[in-house]
Amino acid sequence: MVARSRLLLMVAVGAALLVALAVGVMSAGAASPQGTALISAPAVSAQLRGSVTVQGTATAVNFQFYKVEVGVGASPTSFSLIGDLRKSEVTSGTLVTWDTTKVPDGAYTLRLTVVDNTGNYLDVLRAVTVGNNAPAPAAEAPRRGCLACHVKVSADGRYTLAFEAKVRAAAAGAVHPTTSPSGVSLQPTDQTGIAPCLECHAPGQGAREGKGNIAPISLRDIVHPAHMFSETFKEHYGGNCFTCHNVNGQGGWDVLQDKVDVNEKGVPRTLPIPGARPAL
């Protein structure tokens, strides 16, 4: 008799525990009386490479710890811990950093679990894909020539060369000239090539050596670092020296001003390249 009622009690406690766990799981990801377990990044089904910061919120009343784990596939049967158990709550911040280069490419599921002092927990899952050996995110087809990129795409003139001039000068606390010495209008909505720019931004000579001929700085001293240190230029556009240059028959670095008609490898289709001009 005694043994039997004890068994029944254990079953009842077990069932209550199961219910408690189910509630925890069901309320995961949403604010609840117990707390919040939320992964805000990476996004659902995100393609990941390199070192990835898992971001979100891990809080609970009587918070004890949270952990972020990863399992193989879309519905893993086991998970392994990323880093350590974390003893401090996080609200809209970095939960853990995951070095995806340590695992083979493929589908994974991240799991965030928030545990309180009584052992109750909330958890939330996030399906992701690791692709360290997959081709880099589609860089655009090669573009060559300033006007392959610096054309007006909205009413305020972005991203013409004159728009760039205005914005960069404003960022330095100045007002950029709106007319070139020869009278070319340089309003941000005006679509120009580099000729009017070089009226003031050609490399200076004599006393102005190392500066612009009229402007304080030459165009080359602006555009070389501004592009070659730009993630957008390099990663998004796959930009490099040949985006703006062609090495001519004498070994000179012609500057490509007009949009060049190129094939999928950037090789020009029209020769000689229209708009290629020897540097000043």
Among the residue ranges 4-12, 54-62, 94-102, 179-187, the one whose residues contact ligand HEC (CB under 6 A): 179-187
Contact 110, 96 (CB under 8 A): no
| 255 is a contact residue toward ligand HEC (CB under 6 A) | yes
Spell out the alpha helix ranges (H) of the chain.
2-26, 161-171, 195-201, 219-228, 231, 241-244
| 245 is a contact residue toward ligand HEC (CB under 6 A) | yes
- Nearest approach in angstroms of CB 274 to ligand HEC is 14
- Nearest approach in angstroms of CB 200 to ligand HEC is 3
- Nearest approach in angstroms of CB 175 to ligand HEC is 6
176 vs 172: CA distance, rounded Å: 10
Among the residue ranges 3-11, 89-97, 109-117, 160-168, the one whose residues contact ligand HEC (CB under 6 A): 160-168
66 vs 121: CA distance, rounded Å: 9
96 vs 110: CA distance, rounded Å: 11
Task: List, in sequence order, every residue forming a beta bridge with 35; answer none if it has no partner.
Answer: 60
Backbone φ and ψ of 129, nearest 5°: -130, 135
Q: Closest CB to ligand HEC among 35 and 212?
A: 212
| 203 is a contact residue toward ligand HEC (CB under 6 A) | yes
- Nearest approach in angstroms of CB 53 to ligand HEC is 22
Torsion of CA 194, 275, 237, 246, to 10 degrees: -110
| 157 is a contact residue toward ligand HEC (CB under 6 A) | no
CB burial readout 262-271, b (16+ within 10 A) else e: beeeeebeee
| 126 is a contact residue toward ligand HEC (CB under 6 A) | no
- Quick one: DSSP state of residue 207? G
Number of residues that bind ligand HEC (CB under 6 A): 56
| 192 is a contact residue toward ligand HEC (CB under 6 A) | yes
Binding site for ligand HEC (CB under 6 A): 143, 145-146, 148-150, 161-162, 164-165, 168-169, 172, 174-177, 180-181, 186, 192, 194, 196-203, 214-217, 219-220, 222-224, 226-228, 230, 232-233, 237, 239, 241, 243-245, 252-253, 255, 279-280
